[in-house]
Structure 1
Amino acid sequence: MLSRHLLPLAAAAVGISATTLDAVLDSQNATLSILNNYLTSQQELFNTLINTPNLTILAPSNDAINGLLASEAFSAQLQADPGILTAILKYHIFNGTYYTSNFTGAAAPVFVRTLMDNATYSNVTGGQRVEARAQDGGVAFTSGLREEAAVRTSNFNYTGGTVHVIDSVLAIPANLTATLQAANLTAAIGALRRAGVADSLGSGSEQLTVFAPSNGGFNAVGSLVAQMTAADLERVLGYHVVRGRVMYSDLIAAANGSRQAMQRGGDVEFRAVSDGEVALFVNSARVVGRDLLFDNGVIQVLDNVLNPANTSAAPNPAAATQAPAFSGANTSAGGVPFTSGVPGPSATGAGGAAPTATAAAPARTAALGVVALVGGAAVLVNL
């Protein structure tokens, strides 16, 4: 690493401003005083930041931190696990220098690698990701449980990179079950439990892509899947999982026309069809909810259940809803299968409604995200 004294020389050599990180933070102290006070009190962490080149720091404003202080639910967890605060901070640091123009000029969302690589909180190789995209002429970031933060002021360049001030604190992605629950994918949770595979996709697993059928998708074939043995159901669900590769929506679009091996049941074909906007398909199922980040990878929500015995099923892009890939399937007379005893979303969006998997829209106040960050904010303001 470059020493603090050498950074201005190194920056000057490549034409970057020689302003130091502490000078940038001091210049924005009216907006960032809570974060600034914390960082300057943690000399080891601060030295790491100022001596590590090529970083982007997302700095939650005072209002962003204070906005979370109404809840004290995280206090006990923070006392039991102080390491979560460091993980939260690292999730706000990108591995690379990204100016807002890198995102406003991109045609699709960009999934940026962060410094949060602690296996306690993430098993995504190279560091957990944050989704960045252009929005309303600016830039927005989406983190765990589709929580959203917008850039308010940007491109405060310093010798090691740049700082953007954001209006909300990013939420560390939760585990698979909590993420499915927040998206109201209760049938997927119940099916995983019925098949006995929920634990195999838990926090110890690495690099996962889970194609999770919506409740409506499970219901469309309810007459068949509800009667499956655990072994049959495990084979079907295994045809919805990619191990060893985290496939964000941009990768699926880029894989148009190619096939991908699944954990069980052979491979699937990806299709990207442009009709005003790009629609994504996995075999004949449409991706109706994109890029739900969880601790070990990403969830893509499908409108139908994939059938490992029908690997050549093709979509009808003109249809609003795709036909089931299982012949002779009907809805279950007993309602959506696998949902009995599975609680629905505990989180609510800004309007008070539970977030839906179909829209997979960013939510500002998902409960787990708020809980996971309020404790950290309380520590910051109590210094």
Structure 2
Amino acid sequence: MRIKRLLSLCLLRVALGQTTAQTLGDVLTGQSATLSTLNTWLESQQLVYAMLSNAQGVTMLAPSNNALSQLTNTALATQLGEDANLLTAFLSYHVLNGTYSISDLSSGLTTTSPVPTLLDIAAYSNVTGGQRVAARSQNGAVTLISGNGAQSNIESSDFSYVGGTLHIIDSVLTIPAPLSTSLITAGLTAAVGAMRRASVESTLNTASDLTIFAPNNAAFNAIGSLVADMTDDQLSAVLSYHVVPGRVLYSELVAGGGRAGTAQGANVTFRAEDGGVFVNSARVVQADLLVGNGVVHVVDGVLNPANSTATPDPTASTQEPAFNGATSTDGGVPFTSAVTLSGTPTITVSGIPVSANVAPMRTAAVGVAALVGGAAVLAGW
């Protein structure tokens, strides 16, 4: 039906003596000096090409020839050539669900919350409405932030075509990896080790729509004397207090203050004071780390459900632990000795599962129906 509507619109324009608008193919051909490699990829995948060409109200983030050449001889390039599902996911992640001009992106329209993409394939995105890409602007220049904090810059912009607009970017976007892989890549090995010790890693990796407040290694080390004696049930309760299920709270929501219910049952409190953002008494030291099933905010303290009223000292460079009497130990950072990639799903250099059995990308710019809610998955904690 969409194709028939487009044909009818073109015929009407001809009858009125109007110039027919460009198609996606016209734009790619017209920018062949920069986009010939992407055009070749798409022409070799006619089904995906047709889907992208017929999508309405979208913004394509088109990797330049130089951006795609950076993949030469990488594991990701090999997998893209061998796995049609991965290629579909990769390309759909480069299409924003919505039409955004460069002025939209640079004016702050999208800088408060990451923008959904057409990547709604469950094996690669467990976020309702599609996996996200963040946009940040400085002096009119726009940087896109994807999985693992990877950054891509918009080089040329606002190539309009029937269905949307296209911007050329200088490096490919990275599909957000599964939670555990993302945490390890970010150096949060104690958090992953604690998840494995408490046997909640699989639950957290497979739940949808999560917000995770992940303590850094120094935070776990600061209470090393206490966590060494925790039972698995006690550790599980502490970890579940760091999880907001069924809600993906990006940084603007956290910085706005208020409270959120956790999987443990008690609330966490958000504060913005003296230029810092705090969860209870812990400072957010890295915000909006995009992961396969939501978002992670890295904090400098382990949250204590038995001390939910803990408040920060915004003037202090480090906060006191929320656990009274806890001290660091000389035996190294707790839980890190258990963290290796053995036994975890096979991943690529971008943290993307290789052998996912998934369906092709949907043609519409609207995401799939909501997946199983994180609250339901975590109810058994």
Q: What is the TM-score normalised by the length of structure 1?
A: 0.84
Unaligned runs of 5+ in 2: 342-347, 355-381
Instruction: Tell me how far apart the structure 2 counterparts of residues 225 and 213 of structure 1 sit (CA, whole Å).
Output: 13
Instruction: Please give the residue correspondences for 1:229-268 in structure 2 after superposition, counting only pairs within 5 Å.
Output: 229-254=231-256, 256=257, 258-268=258-268
Tell me the CA shift for residue 43 of structure 1: 3.0
Name the aligned partner's letter for residue 140 of structure 2: G
Instruction: Tell me how far apart the structure 1 counterparts of residues 31 and 91 of structure 2 sit (CA, whole Å).
Output: 18
Conserved 8 A contact 2:177-2:352: no
Conserved 8 A contact 2:181-2:351: no
Instruction: Tell me how far apart the structure 2 counterparts of residues 306 and 78 of structure 1 sit (CA, whole Å).
Output: 44
* Alignment correspondent of 1:40: 43
* Alignment correspondent of 2:312: 315
* Alignment correspondent of 1:115: 118
Which deviates more, 36-45 or 259-268? 36-45
Conserved 8 A contact 1:7-1:51: no
Do residues 19 (structure 1) and 22 (structure 2) align? Answer: yes
* Alignment correspondent of 2:349: 368
Tell me the CA shift for residue 57 of structure 1: 0.2
Instruction: Tell me how far apart the structure 2 counterparts of residues 70 and 42 of structure 1 sit (CA, whole Å).
Output: 21
* Alignment correspondent of 2:334: 337
Instruction: Tell me how far apart the structure 2 counterparts of residues 315 and 158 of structure 1 sit (CA, whole Å).
Output: 51
Do residues 84 (structure 1) and 86 (structure 2) align? Answer: yes
Distance 1:339 1:167, change over 3 A: same
Name the aligned partner's letter for residue 92 of structure 1: H
Conserved 8 A contact 2:113-2:251: no
Tell me the CA shift for residue 103 of structure 1: 2.0
Q: What is the TM-score normalised by the length of structure 2?
A: 0.84
Instruction: Tell me how far apart the structure 2 counterparts of residues 245 and 145 of structure 1 sit (CA, whole Å).
Output: 21
Which deviates more, 245-254 or 1-10? 1-10
Tell me the CA shift for residue 315 of structure 1: 1.0
Tell me the CA shift for residue 226 of structure 1: 1.7
- Give deviations 1:183-241, integer Å, cap 9, x for gaps: 10011011111111111112x31111111000011111111112101000000000000
* Alignment correspondent of 1:271: 271
* Alignment correspondent of 1:156: 159
Tell me the CA shift for residue 342 of structure 1: 2.1
Instruction: Tell me how far apart the structure 1 counterparts of residues 198 and 143 of structure 2 sit (CA, whole Å).
Output: 38
Instruction: Tell me how far apart the structure 2 counterparts of residues 263 and 38 of structure 1 sit (CA, whole Å).
Output: 43
Conserved 8 A contact 2:147-2:174: yes
Unaligned runs of 5+ in 1: 345-366, 374-383
Distance 1:16 1:281, change over 3 A: farther
What is the aligned-residue RMSD (CA, Å)? 2.6
Count the aligned residue pairs.
344
Q: Secondary structure at the match of 1:234?
A: helix
Distance 1:124 1:223, change over 3 A: same
Instruction: Tell me how far apart the structure 2 counterparts of residues 35 and 305 of structure 1 sit (CA, whole Å).
Output: 45
Do residues 305 (structure 1) and 325 (structure 2) align? Answer: no
- Give deviations 1:8-32, integer Å, cap 9, x for gaps: 579999x999222211111101100
Instruction: Please give the residue correspondences for 1:144-183 in structure 2 after superposition, counting only pairs within 5 Å.
Output: 144-183=147-186
Name the aligned partner's letter for residue 168 of structure 1: S
Q: Secondary structure at the match of 2:306?
A: coil
Instruction: Tell me how far apart the structure 1 counterparts of residues 174 and 164 of structure 2 sit (CA, whole Å).
Output: 23
Instruction: Tell me how far apart the structure 2 counterparts of residues 78 and 317 of structure 1 sit (CA, whole Å).
Output: 50
Instruction: Tell me how far apart the structure 2 counterparts of residues 296 and 199 of structure 1 sit (CA, whole Å).
Output: 12
Name the aligned partner's letter for residue 154 of structure 1: S
Q: Secondary structure at the match of 1:298?
A: strand
* Identity fraction in percent: 50
Instruction: Please give the residue correspondences for 1:38-117 in structure 2 after superposition, counting only pairs within 5 Å.
Output: 38-72=41-75, 75=78, 79=82, 81-106=83-108, 108-117=111-120
Distance 1:20 1:191, change over 3 A: same
Q: Secondary structure at the match of 1:260?
A: strand
Tell me the CA shift for residue 7 of structure 1: 4.9
Distance 1:305 1:371, change over 3 A: closer
Distance 1:103 1:10, change over 3 A: farther
